[in-house]
A and B are shown apart, each in its own frame.
Chain A
Amino acid sequence: MKDTGAAGKQRDFSKPLWRTLAFPLGVVALYIVLFVIAPARTLRALEATGRITLQVAIPLGIAFALMFVLNLLVKPAHVSRFLGKGAGVKGVSISALAGVISTGPIYAWYPLLRDLRQKGASEFHVANFLSHRAVKPFLLPVMVSYFGWAFTLVFNVLVVIGALLTALLVGALGERRGKEKA
């Protein structure tokens, strides 16, 4: 038997509730202060917020529907299984796709990625996963409503290329460090 003591090394990457609420509550406090100083302009700012909310409501509804479909078809276990194996073009595609379809905050994925890294996943694949999180299919309706189809298409294609380059460079730097250590 061996007592690993692994639990003692567990690290919670999740964000506490107060940190999630701190930003919106801070903005509300700012509104209250500004309302005391300049009530008319603060009300205009609230009206502007109302217009932004209306503008984003329908695309967010579509985003929710796409999130539902993704959650129905893709489970976290699929992502971890995909990321843990595969090499060459297949491995690159899998870690990129896993990054694209991963949902939720980035820190929620740190324990899994760290575990995969310890099990042999390369720095390239971890960087590829993290960089491809910039492409979010379920948010495309929101982006199109704000910036149009042409921008959305070009932006996402170039972000994918940039993500691959980032992963290649980070992977190369990691390999170089490994060789220097050896």
Chain B
Amino acid sequence: MRIAVAATEADLDEGLVTRLGTCAYLLIVDSATLDFEAVPKPPYVAGAGGGIVAVTLAVEHDAHAIIARFIPPRMATALAENQMAVVTGVKGTVREAVRDYMQKGSTEAVPQPRPAMGALVRSARQFAAMLPVLVGVMLLAGLLKVFVPAEALTKVYPGAPVADAFSGACLGSIFGGNAVNSYVIGEALRGAGVSLFAVTAIMITWVTVGLVQLPAEMSAFGSRFAISRNAVAFVLAMPVALATVVLVRWLS
């Protein structure tokens, strides 16, 4: 079993830090052999951000339990919800803390999670995170309806299925983010006379292709993967958009 311990030094015989977020090292200890990895936490991240970094490191290193003198109750609840044992209120060295945990289990009761309240708070946070851009998009859609003449849009989207799907895919690839924003923009464009071929292509590439997010994707998975995934998604968006509109028209 791998146990993460928030420590002051990369040494089993040193003490634990007072708060999880202030640890200099996260020791990933094998409970059977007491072999350990010392994972240094970036010194510039402290406080609540430091706690989150420490937890991320623990998860990345496959820890099944996390030991610290103090972990904020909200973080402890979230960890417990995600099946990670949380041990707080311990004293002594890292070695003693791990031994005590293996003998006694958790030394301090973790507050029982309230799933409904947790889900409500999480949903509210996700919704709140989505709102600023959505409000901006709705304001922009209002401007589009009044300020952009239909003739200008029909020059870019002349109504030819393939050309419209291509132009739409290009527009959706440049922008991106939450899908709901593409629905609002798509509806505004439909209202201005833009074809459903273009709108559908925008809605597909809005989520599947991300030029703005490409550097982050390249950094995470490598440039070859990121470029090939985005390129394939872009190319496939056009036939999918064409087929969608043809099928919808056939059905109705």
Contact = CB atoms under 8 A, between A and B. Distances in A.
A106 interface: yes
Contacts of B42: 7-8, 10
**Which of B135, B138, B200 has most chain A Cβ within 10 Å?**
B138
B142 interface: yes
B220 A20 contact: no
A56 B118 CA distance: 26
Contacts of A111: 56, 60, 220
Nearest to A24: B136
Interface in A15-45: 20-21, 23-28, 30-31, 34, 41-42, 44-45
Nearest to A126: B221
A48 to B, nearest CB: 4
Interface string A169-182: 11001100100000
B82 A77 contact: yes
Contacts of B147: 34, 41, 45
A166 B233 contact: yes
Contact of B116 (A24, A46, A72, A154): A72
A97 interface: no
A169 B220 contact: no
B184 interface: yes
Interface string B117-159: 0111011001101001101101111110111000000000000
Given A75-B81, A77-B83, A1 B228 contact: no
Interface stretch (B68-76, B96-104, B205-213): B205-213
Given A6-B61, A26-B136, A48-B145, A162 B53 contact: no
A162 B204 contact: yes
B146 A45 contact: yes
A162 to B, nearest CB: 4
Contact of A21 (B132, B145, B236, B237): B132
A4 B135 contact: no
A89 interface: no
Contacts of B233: 131, 162, 166
Contact of A30 (B10, B143, B207, B229): B143
A139 interface: yes
A63 B40 contact: no
Nearest to B62: A119
Contacts of B187: 52, 146-147
A68 B10 CA distance: 42
B133 A24 contact: yes
B143 to A, nearest CB: 5
B160 interface: no
B37 A170 contact: no
B65 to A, nearest CB: 14
**Which of B36, B37, B224, B228 has most chain A Cβ within 10 Å?**
B228
A13 B140 CA distance: 27
B141 A49 contact: yes
A3 to B, nearest CB: 5
10 contacts: A3-B40, A31-B143, A41-B146, A45-B139, A49-B142, A50-B142, A56-B184, A130-B229, A142-B183, A170-B232
Interface of B: 10, 26, 35-42, 53, 56-57, 60-61, 81-83, 115-116, 118-120, 122-123, 126-127, 129, 132-133, 135-136, 138-143, 145-147, 177-180, 183-184, 186-188, 196, 200, 203-204, 207-208, 210, 213, 216-217, 219-221, 224-225, 228-229, 232-233, 236-237, 239-240, 243-244, 247-248, 251-252
Interface of A: 1-8, 10-11, 13, 20-21, 23-28, 30-31, 34, 41-42, 44-50, 52-53, 56, 60, 63-64, 67-69, 71-72, 75-77, 103-107, 110-111, 113-115, 117, 123, 126-127, 130-131, 133-134, 136, 139, 142-143, 146-147, 150-151, 154-155, 158-159, 161-163, 165-166, 169-170, 173-174, 177
